[in-house]
Structure 1
Amino acid sequence: MSEKKDLVAEFSKGIDAEAVMREADAEFRFRRVAGKWAVIVSVIAIIWSVFQLYTSGFGVFDSIIQRSIHLMFVLVMAFLLYPARKGAPKERPSFIDLVLVLFSILVNLYLVIQWNEIAFCGGRLTEVEHLIGGAGILLVLEASRRVLGKELTITGLVFLLYAYFGNYVPGRFHTRGYTLERISEHMFWSTEGIFGIALGVSATYMFLFILFGAFLGGTGLSKLINDVSLAAAGHKPGGPAKVALLTTGFMGMINGSAVANAASTGAFTIPMMKNVRYRPTFAAGVEAAGSTGGQIMPPVMGAAAFIMAEFIGVPYSQIIIAAAIPAILYYASIWIMVHVEAVKTGLQGCRKINCLRSSMR
C-alpha cells in the first residue's frame, strides 16, 4: 500500500512538460496568445495547412513561388508567436511584430506577383528589387534569431559578411568579394539561397509530415502509445525503462524531435524508473537515449532526412526503408543494456495496477 502511495506522490509533483521544453529548446519559447489574437493565429495556421494540403494533392507551383508563399507563412507565424525579447508582451504581438508581419507579406507577395516579369527580363533587377531582397534576408535572420536563438543568426551573418569582405581575407579563403546587389540577387531572387533545397523540402514533404504528427497527437495517440507501452513491458524486469524506450520510439515516429520527445514522455517515465530504484542518472540516460533515437525512427525522423532525400535525389520512401533497420537496432541495443542493468541489480517492473495508475497520471 505504501508503494502505491509513493508512486502516486511521485506523479503528483506536477511536472510541467511545457516548462521543460521551453527551458531546453528555444523553439518552444513561443507566446501563448489569447483572445482575438488566438483566433487570428489559428485562422492563419488553418489557411497555411489548407494551402500545403492543396498543393500536395493538386501539384505545387513553380519552385520559387511555392517556397515564397511557404516562407511568407513561416515569417508571419514566427513574428506573431515568438517575442523579440524577454520583456515583450506574452499574450499578444507588439507593434514592431505587426510591422515585421506586414513587411513579410509585402516582400514575398511582391516576389510572387513579379516573378514572371523578372524572369522574362532575364533576371535583371531594379534598385527597388535589390532593396526588397535585402529586406527579405534581414527578415529571415530576425525570424531565425527569435525561433532558434542567436547562434544560427550569427553564423548566417558571418557568411554574408564573408561574401562581401572576402577580398580582404588572406590565403586560400581569399575571394574577389561581391557587391550588395549580387548578394541580394543570389540569396533572395534565385533558388540557390534562401529559396534553396532546404526551404523546398520544408514547403513540400516536411510540413505534411509535421501536420500528420500534429493530427495524431491531437487525437490522443500519445496517450494510446503510453498505455500500450505500459501494458506490454511495464510489469517485466526493468519494465519502466523498457516502457520509456517503447514510448520514445513510438513518439519519435510522429514528432521527430528529441527535445519534445524527452519532455513529453520523460514526465512520467523518469519518475516511474526512480520508483523501482533505478539510479536517477541511469533513468535520465535511458530517457535521453530513447528520445534521441526518435529522430532516426521512420517515418518522420528529423529535418535532415528530408533534406537528404532531396540532395541525393531518391524518393523519401527509400530513406524510410534505409533508416528502419538502424533505428530498430539502435533501440534493440538500448533494450539489451536496460535488461542487463535490471537483472544485475535485481530491479523488477511495477505491478500492473501501478502501471495502470501511472498511465492515468
Structure 2
Amino acid sequence: MPEKPLNAAADADINAEEILRKFDKESDYRKLKGFAAKLIAAIAITFSLFQLYTAVFGVLDAMIQRSIHLAFGFCLIFLLYPAKKSWPRDSIHPIDFLTAVIGAAVPLYIVINYQSLVLRAGTVTTMDYLVGLAGVLLVLEAARRVVGLPIITIAVIFLLYALAGPYIPGQLAHRGADLPTLVQHLFFTTEGIFGIPIGVSSTFIFLFILFGSYLEKTGMGQFFIDLANAIAGWASGGPAKVAVLSSGLMGTVSGSSVANVVGTGSFTIPMMKSLGYKPEFAGAVEATASTGGQLMPPIMGAAAFLMAEFTQIPYNKIIISAAIPALLYYFGVWTGVHLEARRLGLRGLNKDELPKIKNILMERGHLMFPLVAIVYLLVTGYTPMKAALYAIVFSIVTAMLRKNTRISAADIVSGLEQGARNALGVIAATACAGIIIGVVTLTGLGLKMGTSLISLAGGNLFLTLFFTMLTSLILGMGVPTTANYVITSTIAAPALLMINVPTLAAHMFAFYFGIIADVTPPVALAAFAGAGIAKANPLKTGFNAAKLAIAAFLVPYIFVYNPSLLLINVHGFEQIFLIIATSLIGIIAVSSAVSGYLITNQSVIERLIFFSGGILLVTPGLRTDLVGAALLGLGYLIQRGKLKNKALAA
C-alpha cells in the first residue's frame, strides 16, 4: 500500500492561498465560473497549443512569434486580473473585457501589418505611433496588475531618463529622445518590448513552465517533501533540513521563491515550530531554501535561458557552471540549520513518524525520470525548447506507469490551461523589462553606469564588486526572477565586464545578488511570506534569512576572484577540488561565526576569529588559505578547551 504523505500543515490554521496572494501578485487573479471560466480556459489552452505547435514545427519570425505571444498574454492578464482590487473576482468587469480586447489587438497590429512595417524600415506613421504608445502603456498596466509596483517604478524612471537626457547633469547625461522616437524604438524593434527577454519567454520559458504544470499534476511536490523527510527528517533539527532539501529539489522546476515558500513551507514551517524552532527562524529557513531554488540548475528561475541569450554562452555550459556555486549555497544554509539545531538541542522526528525511502521510490520514484531526462537532453546538446518539449511528453507518459500517479485526459487539458496561467507573470515581467532594456540600448546607460561604478570604486576590483552587489540588491528588491536578471545584467554587470571579469562570472555575480534580495531586508518578499506562515515578525525573519544565506554573499566573490569555481579556465581536477574544499571549510567557519556556535557557544572574540578565518579561506591564494587555516585551528582549540572545562565543571 502507498504510504500516506505527511501533512503537518493540515492542523496548522494556515491559509496558504492568502499568504501567497499577499506576497505574490501572480496569485491575485479572478476565480471565474460558467461561460467566463470556459472562455478563459479556451484562450489559455489555445495559447499553450500555439506554443507547442511552434516548438514542434518551428518558431515563426521573431516579431510575429513574440507579438502573438504578447497578445495572448495581454488578453489573459486583463481578463484574469482586475484593474482595481475592489472589483469582483467572480465576474469580468466590462472595462477589463474591453482592455483585454485592445490588449490582444495592439500586438496583433504588428502581425497584420508586418510586411508594410518592414518596408517602412523605421518610419513611423501616426497610426503606428498611437498603437505603439498604447502598447507601452498596456505593458506597464499588465505588469502593475501581475507583478506589482516595484518594477513599474523602475520602468517609469527609465522612461523619464530617456526623455530628459539633455537636462541630466554629469556622466549620465545623453542627447535625449522625443516621444515618437522612444515609442518606435520600444515597440517596433527587437531592442525593446519585443527584445530578448520576451523572445526567450515566447520559446524556452513558456515550455518549461508548461513542463512544471504537468509535474505538479503528477504530485511531484509532495513526492519531494516525502523523499526529503525520508532522507533527513530523523536528523538533528530534521524538519529544517527537510525544508532545505525539499525546497532545493522544488527549485529545480520552480521559478518563484515566494510560491516555493508557500508550497513547501505550509508543511515544513509548522513542523519546525513544533520541535522548538523560533517562528522567525522557521520562516527564515524556508525562505532561504526556497530562494536558493532559483540558483539551482537546470532552470534557475528561467534566468539561465536569458543568460544564454545575453552572453551567447551555450545553455548547457551555463547550467553546468552554475552547479557548484548552487551546491555551496545550499551547503551554507544546511550548515546554518545544523548549527542552530545543535545549539538549541533540537531533535529530529521519530523514525516511525517518517515514510520509508524504499516505499517512496517504489511507489513514486518514476516521477524523477522526466527531470533526469531533461538534464540529460540539455547536457547532450538539445536546444532548451526541444528538451522541454520532450520532457512534457515524457512527464505524461511516465505518470501513466503507476495507477497512483496516473493523470486523466482532463488533467492533460487542464495542464495546458494551468501552464498558460502560470506563464502570465513571466510575460508581464519580461515585457516590462524590455522597456528598461530599450532605454539602455537607446541611451547607452549600461556603459555609463559601468563607468560610474568603476569611477566610484577607483578601479579597485573589490570595491567595484561591492558597489555592484549593492546595485543588484537594490534593483532586485520586489522584482521577479526573470525581470530581476534582465535589470541587474543590463545595469550592474557592465561595470564588471569593463574591468575584465569573465562574462559568465560578471552576469552570475549580478544575478546572485539580485536573487538574494528576496531574503535581504528591508524588502525581503520570500522572508516576509515565510513570516506570514510562521506568524512571526517579518523584519526579524528577514534578518534571520540573510544570516542563513551568508554563503550566497560569499560565493559570488569566490567565483569572480577564482572563475575556476564556474569551470572557467580550469587547470586540472586538483584545482577545482582545492577551491571547493577551502570554500566548504570557509563557509562552515563563517556560518558558525554568524550563529555563534560550533561545538559550543562562541564568545565575541571567537566569532571574529572564525569569521576572519572563513573569509580568508574562501579568498583564493595559498597565503590567505594558510592564515585562514591557522585562525580556524586556533578557534577550534579554544572551543575544545571550553567544552572540556564545561565537562570538568559538571
Mark yes or no: TM-score above 0.5: yes
The one-letter amino acid of 2:45's match is I
Asked whether the 8 Å contact 2:144–2:152 carries over to 1, the reply is yes
For residues 158-188 of structure 1, give each alpha carbon's deviation from its aligned partner in whole angstroms, at most 9, with x where no partner exists.
3223322333334443333322221121010
- Give, in angstroms, the shift of residue 64 of structure 1: 1.0
Identity of aligned residues (%): 50
Higher mean alpha-carbon deviation, 110-119 vs 168-177, is at 168-177
Asked whether the 8 Å contact 1:256–1:296 carries over to 2, the reply is no
- Give, in angstroms, the shift of residue 69 of structure 1: 0.8
CA separation of 1:261/1:9 partners in 2, compared to 1, >3 Å: closer, same or farther? closer
Higher mean alpha-carbon deviation, 247-256 vs 161-170, is at 161-170
1:78 is matched with which residue? 77
The one-letter amino acid of 1:76's match is C
Any gaps of 5 or more consecutive residues in structure 1? 1-6
1:336 is matched with which residue? 335
For residues 185-228 of structure 1, give each alpha carbon's deviation from its aligned partner in whole angstroms, at most 9, with x where no partner exists.
10101001111111111111111111111110122111111111
CA separation of 1:347/1:34 partners in 2, compared to 1, >3 Å: closer, same or farther? same
Distance in 1, Cα, partners of 2:161 & 2:282: 45
2:136 equivalent to 1:137: yes
Asked whether the 8 Å contact 1:80–1:98 carries over to 2, the reply is yes
- Give, in angstroms, the shift of residue 9 of structure 1: 8.7
2:188 equivalent to 1:189: yes
Distance in 2, Cα, partners of 1:141 & 1:21: 22
Distance in 2, Cα, partners of 1:332 & 1:244: 13
- Give, in angstroms, the shift of residue 144 of structure 1: 0.9
For residues 137-163 of structure 1, give each alpha carbon's deviation from its aligned partner in whole angstroms, at most 9, with x where no partner exists.
111111111111223223222322332
2:249 is matched with which residue? 250
Asked whether the 8 Å contact 1:258–1:291 carries over to 2, the reply is yes
Asked whether the 8 Å contact 1:107–1:136 carries over to 2, the reply is yes
The one-letter amino acid of 2:81's match is Y
- Give, in angstroms, the shift of residue 343 of structure 1: 2.9
* Number of residue-to-residue matches in the alignment: 351
The one-letter amino acid of 2:75's match is V
CA separation of 1:197/1:335 partners in 2, compared to 1, >3 Å: closer, same or farther? same
Instruction: Kindly report which structure 2 residues correspond to 1:313-332, keeping only aligned pairs within 5 A, or say none.
Output: 313-332=312-331
2:95 equivalent to 1:124: no
For residues 13-51 of structure 1, give each alpha carbon's deviation from its aligned partner in whole angstroms, at most 9, with x where no partner exists.
331211111111222212222222222111111111111
Instruction: Kindly report which structure 2 residues correspond to 1:55-66, keeping only aligned pairs within 5 A, or say none.
Output: 55-66=54-65
Distance in 1, Cα, partners of 2:162 & 2:7: 59
1:228 is matched with which residue? 227
Instruction: Kindly report which structure 2 residues correspond to 1:142-153, keeping only aligned pairs within 5 A, or say none.
Output: 142-153=141-152
Distance in 2, Cα, partners of 1:193 & 1:10: 44
Distance in 1, Cα, partners of 2:118 & 2:219: 48
The one-letter amino acid of 1:341's match is E
State the SS of the aligned residue for 2:175. coil
1:4 is matched with which residue? none
The one-letter amino acid of 1:198's match is P
CA separation of 1:69/1:147 partners in 2, compared to 1, >3 Å: closer, same or farther? same
2:584 is matched with which residue? none
For residues 248-288 of structure 1, give each alpha carbon's deviation from its aligned partner in whole angstroms, at most 9, with x where no partner exists.
01111111211011111111101111112122222222111
Asked whether the 8 Å contact 1:11–1:271 carries over to 2, the reply is no
For residues 301-332 of structure 1, give each alpha carbon's deviation from its aligned partner in whole angstroms, at most 9, with x where no partner exists.
12432221110012222221111211122112
Asked whether the 8 Å contact 1:210–1:300 carries over to 2, the reply is no
2:266 is matched with which residue? 267
Any gaps of 5 or more consecutive residues in structure 2? 1-5, 361-650
2:33 equivalent to 1:34: yes
Asked whether the 8 Å contact 1:256–1:297 carries over to 2, the reply is no
Asked whether the 8 Å contact 2:8–2:270 carries over to 1, the reply is no
Distance in 1, Cα, partners of 2:193 & 2:116: 20
State the SS of the aligned residue for 2:90. coil
The one-letter amino acid of 1:165's match is A
Higher mean alpha-carbon deviation, 339-348 vs 100-109, is at 339-348
2:548 is matched with which residue? none
Higher mean alpha-carbon deviation, 132-141 vs 312-321, is at 312-321
1:3 is matched with which residue? none
Distance in 2, Cα, partners of 1:244 & 1:102: 43
Asked whether the 8 Å contact 2:234–2:351 carries over to 1, the reply is yes
2:59 equivalent to 1:69: no
Distance in 1, Cα, partners of 2:314 & 2:208: 15
Instruction: Kindly report which structure 2 residues correspond to 1:92-241, keeping only aligned pairs within 5 A, or say none.
Output: 92-241=91-240
Instruction: Kindly report which structure 2 residues correspond to 1:270-281, keeping only aligned pairs within 5 A, or say none.
Output: 270-281=269-280
The one-letter amino acid of 1:333's match is G
State the SS of the aligned residue for 2:164. helix
Asked whether the 8 Å contact 1:252–1:301 carries over to 2, the reply is yes
- Give, in angstroms, the shift of residue 11 of structure 1: 4.0
The one-letter amino acid of 1:276's match is L
The one-letter amino acid of 2:28's match is R
CA separation of 1:12/1:184 partners in 2, compared to 1, >3 Å: closer, same or farther? same
TM-score (norm 2): 0.52
State the SS of the aligned residue for 1:64. helix
TM-score (norm 1): 0.91
CA separation of 1:260/1:269 partners in 2, compared to 1, >3 Å: closer, same or farther? same
Distance in 1, Cα, partners of 2:7 & 2:110: 58
CA separation of 1:200/1:9 partners in 2, compared to 1, >3 Å: closer, same or farther? closer
Higher mean alpha-carbon deviation, 156-165 vs 142-151, is at 156-165
